[in-house]
Chain A
Amino acid sequence: MSHVGSYATGLSALVVPELLLKTIQSVAAELKGKLVLDSQVKDYSGQAMGTKCRWAIFCKDMPNGLGIMLDANKPPEFVADVYGKEKQFDAIRNRIKQVYVALAAAEAAKRLGYPVQEIYQVQGNIQISLKVGS
C-alpha cells in the first residue's frame, strides 16, 4: 500500500480547484515539446488514488507515481506518493512546489501575452524566458 504524504503548500488558498486543473492541463499541453522538465499531466482516475485525486503531474525525476495530486472536490492540496522514498520527502515536496510555480509562471506570462521562449533547468533551478516586446 502506498504511503500518501500530504502537505499544504500555502499556494492553495487563493486558487479555485477547477482553475488550477485547467491551468495545469493547458500549460502542460502548450509547453509539450518545449518543456525540459519532462513533466506531464495524467488522468489518474481508476488508479490507486484516483478516487481521491484525479489529476497528477509526473516528472521523470519522480518515478513510482510521485507527483502532484489534485483533488477536484476539495480546496486544492498537493499530495505526493512517497512510497519507498519517505526520507526524500522534503526534497520531493520542494520539487513539486517548484514545478507548480514554474507552470503558474508560464501561465501568468501567457495571460499577459508574453510568449514563453524557453524553459530549462540550470543547476536545479528552473528558468523561464519570456519575450516582452520592445
Chain B
Amino acid sequence: MEKQVRVIITPKGKIVTDFVGYEGKACFVDADKLAKQLIDLGVTLEESSVQSKTDPSEAITVQQFEKLTK
C-alpha cells in the first residue's frame, strides 16, 4: 500500500500527523525523521501527535481532529 503522511496544523499552530498505510509502530521511524527536520526549523513534533493508520479510510476526520486538539 502506498504510504502517505498527513500533517495537520491547528489554528494555534499545533501539529498532528496521520501516518496512513503504516503497520504498527513503523510510523515512528518516519515520524522521528520528520521531527528532526522540524526541530531544525524551530518546530516541535510531539510523540503523542503521531498516529498510525493502516487504511486510508481510517485517517483522521475533521471532527476527530478537533476533539483531539481541544
Contacts and interface: CB of A to CB of B under 8 A. Distances in A.
Interface residues on B, range: 20 to 34
Question: Dominant SS at the B interface?
Answer: mixed
A101 interface: yes
Contacts of B38: 104-105, 108
B15 A105 contact: yes
A112 interface: yes
B34 A112 contact: yes
Interface of A: 9, 11-15, 19-20, 23, 94-95, 97-98, 100-102, 104-105, 107-109, 111-112, 114, 117, 122-134
A113 B21 CA distance: 18
Count chain B CB atoms within 10 A of each CB in A13, A23, A129 and give the residue with the most. Answer: A129
Given A94-B12, A98-B12, A132 B30 contact: yes
Interface of B: 1-13, 15, 21, 30, 33-34, 37-43, 62, 65-66
Contacts of A114: 5
Contacts of A102: 9
Given A101-B13, A134-B3, A14 B42 contact: yes
B6 A101 contact: no
Contact of A126 (B9, B21, B37, B42): B9
Nearest to B3: A132
Contact of B41 (A107, A126, A133, A134): A107
12 contacts: A12-B42, A15-B40, A15-B42, A97-B12, A98-B13, A100-B13, A101-B9, A109-B37, A117-B4, A123-B62, A131-B2, A134-B3
